[in-house]
Structure 1
Amino acid sequence: MIEFKMPSLGADMDEGTLVEWQVAPGDPVKRGQVVAVVDTAKAAVEIECWQEGSVFELLIQPGAKVPVGTPIATLLEAGESPETAPRTPPPTVAAPQPVQPAPAPAAPTPGTQPTSRPRITPAARQRAAELGIDPAALAGTGAQGAVSLADVEAAAASRPAAQPATAQERHAAMRQAIAAAMSRSKREIPHYYLSETVPMAAALAWLATYNAELPPERRLLPGVLVLKAVALALGDYPQLNGFWIDGAFQPGPGIHLGVAVALRQGGLIAPALHDVASKPLPQLMEELGDLVQRARSFSLRSSELSEATLTVTQLGDQGVDGVFGVIYPPQVALVGVGRIAERPWVDDGKLCAIPTAQFSLAADHRASDGHYGARFLAEVRRRLQQPDCL
């Protein structure tokens, strides 16, 4: 028996509201399959399951608020059967809107004994307990007015569907979640900061040549070169790519870069772009565009919100020269990139103007030190001077 629990989708998530199930009891489940949709402070997230089996019980009904780590379903492993598997009592959570009670029965006439509990079939009683429905609130249609299994299923179906938060509610919840996560970061993480001015002439010249013969929808943006350079540099500096958990550094399972996305309604989200170092630039550009679009429409997958191993925030399009970010726990580093602009530069003893950008690194002193971080930034700079190798 496998317990499938409400996943943590980041340091700023304590609970989520189950919006809908996309599986039913008896359905087979494969690794990576989307099984539910959960509404968080930042997005309606498609929840993936990373175990294989078949669905046995759905312990939580749509509309319920569920703390992180609470079992929400059980799966049968190979060789298990519904007849032999033990049933799991539904966890106590904030219940969805209750079913409207049936009209109260008439008062008993003198000389009759009031019934202490409603008539209900055994199968209906068990199903009502699973769904968190009070049988006394139902009008039975079975023999002698007993509540039947069909009555219970009809009551469950009549529940109003859980509605995602409104834009105003989501914005307020997001600001609170961001504040909580960043307060934790500044309280717990001993930050150190470094910056490096990076010449961008070679990268921009290569980009102009590459894009010259391509239609607009297939052209690369400078930001994707930055992401690839950061990812390749992390391959040489793995102490910046991972998590600080239980008092120790844990390397990331891959190089999955969190991409900071400003939302149109306000707020910020940083979903992960997976395996950045190993993907060609055109594929990264396509996946980046899709990720940003889905982030702004509040449609992301759980792995995209929980697996970033380092976050990159590029605020150059907002006109700022530099950004010094706050690390998103449990990550141990964040790279900030300012706008690309022509600035004074000395080349071979001569003063000239070339395009440059300020790169910054915020890093966790428990996992690395300034010398290590400085070498990492120098490696990012070196790789951007050889864009054809990206």
Structure 2
Amino acid sequence: MIKFLMPNLGADMEDGVLVEWRKQPGDFLQKGDIIADIDTQKGLIEIEVFDEGVLEKILVKEGQKVPVGSVLALINDGKGEEIRESSGDNPTPEVPKILEPQEQAKTKSTEEHRIKISPLARKIAESNGIDLTLLKGTGPEGSIVKEDVEKAISERIANKPVPQPEEKTKEAPEESVNVSRTTSDSIRMAVAAAMSKSNREIPHYFLEKRMDMSKALEWMKESNKTRPVQKRILPVAMLIKAVAKALDEVPDLNATWENGLQRKNEINIGFVVSLRSGGIMVPAILQADSKTVEEIMETLNDLIPRARAFKLRSSELSQSTFTITSIGEGGADKVFGLIYPPQVGIVGFGEISEQPFAEEGMLGIRPVVDVTLSADHRATDGLIGSRFLAALNKHLQNPESL
């Protein structure tokens, strides 16, 4: 029997609200199945299960606030392990009350008018002003589920007339801004908590190296000639792959600091995504070392829109082993990141720009990028950090190896 725990989705998370169970007792679970939705500061997160078995028992009710690490459910993996339950899990049933005819009629009337709806569906409906009495539920026993509400929202948008310029009012934009500000404030508070913890507890050291990007960009340009526009590779995909390969050579940076250095077997690269409404999210490119540059680009094209729509899975928020932050075009020349605990390193890429660059006694103008490493001095030192930057540069100078 397996205890399914409330996951930790980051250093800033202490608890979350279990909004809706996607699976019910008796359902067979496969690795990767979505078992529940959790409401956190980072939005509504889909929680995955990482073991196979039958959902034996649900221990937490929908709508309940749960601390990280709490047991949410029990999964029977068929190995015969027993988990004893406390007497509090099986309360004595109440003796049914015998109602008078008037009370029976009142109770029956109340039941007839009570709307059966999942907590998640109710939350979405209230946020979008959907009249529940007009919905027909397709869930168990006719209950209204998330899909019913989303369908109603889609139909309302489709049937809503497009206003003429003179008919535009201030109400709609103001409502949108307010929602964005609320989300942005929540995200910024979560980031602030994590970064405050990082700055307070982690002894950072910083290294910097300027890297020639001419060979990598030329390889990318040639590779993109045979690709359709929607599948073209961007420099960031090459940078992520190069970082993954460098971490494979310098594994002490692909680790966490939890009662000492804990090296990780998988290389899961967290990538900082700026949100339209303000703030950032850091979803993970899982097993980046085993992905090709093309596959990393496809993953980014999927992850970034979902991050900005707050539709990430728990594994994408909780399993990063190292983080990348990239300024991109039109940004600063350098960026020095703060480590996201319990990780032990973060690499920052400034804007790729043409600058004077000397090599083998020859001076020329080349596209270069300033790369910085922020690392935890408890876990590594400057020598190990320098080896990582050297390995990263080696792979960028040999892009065909990516």
Cα offset, 1:301, TM superposition: 0.9
Structure 2 CA distance, aligned partners of 1:327 and 1:146? 63
Give, as a single letter, the amino acid of the residue that structure 2 aligns with 1:182. M
Offset from partner CA, 1:226-253 (integer Å, 9 cap, x none): 011110011110000010002x000113
In 2, are the aligned partners of 1:140 and 1:146 still within 8 Å (CA)?
Answer: no
Residue 196 of structure 1, CA deviation: 0.4
- Which letter maps to 1:64? Q
Cα deviation code 1:327-374 (max 9, x no counterpart): 000000000000100001123333321100000000001111001101
Q: List aligned pairs for 1:346-361, cutoff 5 A.
A: 346-361=358-373
Coordinate RMSD, CA, aligned: 3.2
Q: Compute the TM-score of the two structures, normalised by the length of structure 2.
A: 0.78
On the 8 A contact 2:207/2:385 being kept in 1, the answer is yes
1:163 and 2:176 equivalent?
Answer: no
- How many Å separate the matches in 1 of 2:253 and 2:244? 11
CA distance in 1: counterparts of 2:3 and 2:45, whole angstroms: 20
Q: 2:20 touches 2:119 (CA, 8 Å); kept in 1?
A: no
Aligned residue among 189, 204, 210 for 1:197: 210
1:153-302 correspondence to structure 2 within 5 Å: 157=116, 161=120, 163=123, 166-246=179-259, 248-302=260-314
- The Cα shift of 1:57 comes to 2.5
Q: Quick one: structure 1 residues 74 and 297, their matched pair in 2 at CA, closer, same or farther if it must change by over 3 Å?
A: same
* Cα distance in 1 between the residues matched to 2:216 and 2:81: 59
Q: Distance in 2 between matches of 1:80 and 1:379?
A: 48
Aligned to 1:72: 72
Amino acid of the residue matched to residue 303 of structure 1? Answer: S
Which consecutive residues of structure 2, in runs of 5 or more, have no partner in the other structure? 128-178
Could you tell me which residue of structure 2 aligns to residue 8 of structure 1?
Answer: 8
Letter in 2 for 1:2: I
Q: Residues 72, 231 of structure 1: CA spacing in aligned structure 2 closer, same or farther, 3 A cutoff?
A: same
Q: Is the 8 A contact 2:3 2:74 kept in 1?
A: yes
Q: How far off is 1:284 after superposition?
A: 1.2
Q: SS where residue 317 of structure 1 aligns? A: coil
**Aligned-pair distance for 1:7?**
0.8
Residue 163 of structure 1: how far off its partner (Å): 2.5
Measured in 2, the distance between the counterparts of 1:143 and 1:88 equals 37
Please name the residue that 1:337 is paired with: 349
Q: Which moved more, 1:65-74 or 1:181-190?
A: 65-74
SS in 2 for 1:225: helix
In structure 2, the partner of 1:325 is 337
Give the paired residue count. Answer: 345
* CA gap 1:61/1:219 in 2 versus in 1, 3 angstroms: same
Task: Give the whole-Å Cα distance in 2 for the aligned partners of 1:18 and 1:208.
Answer: 47
User: Given the alignment of the two structures, is residue 23 of structure 1 paired with residue 23 of structure 2, yes or no?
Assistant: yes
Please give the alpha-carbon distance, in whole angstroms, between the structure 2 residues aligned to 1:326 and 1:316: 18
TM-score normalized by the length of structure 1: 0.80
Q: Is the 8 A contact 2:354 2:367 kept in 1?
A: yes
When residues 54 and 379 of structure 1 are mapped into structure 2, their CA distance, relative to the original with a 3 A threshold, is: same
Paired residue secondary structure (1:172): helix
SS at match of 1:47: strand
1:23 match: secondary structure? coil
**Contact residue 241 and residue 309 of structure 1 kept, 8 A:** yes
Counterparts of 2:289 and 2:342, CA distance in 1: 21
1:140–1:147 CA contact under 8 A, matched in 2? no
- Amino acid in structure 2 at the alignment position of 1:220: I
1:145 CA displacement: 5.2
Structure-2 change in CA distance of 1:249 and 1:215 (3 Å): same
Larger CA Rg, structure 1 vs 2: 1
Q: d(CA) in 2 for partners of 1:49 and 1:147?
A: 43
Cα deviations by residue, 1:8-58 (Å, 9 ceiling, x for unpaired): 111011111222111012111122221011121113211011233222332
Corresponding residue of 1:96: none
Matched position secondary structure for 2:336:
coil
Q: Per-residue deviation at 1:382?
A: 1.1
* 1:120-144 alpha-carbon deviations (Å, 9 max, x no partner): xx76x49xxxxxxxx99xx979999
Indicate if the aligned counterparts of 1:141 and 1:147 stay in contact, CA closer than 8 A. Answer: no
Deviation at 1:89, TM superposition (A): 4.1
Letter in 1 for 2:219: W
Once the two structures are aligned, what percentage of the paired residues are identical? 41
Distance verdict in 2 for CA 1:28–1:201, change over 3 Å = same
Per-residue deviation at 1:146? 12
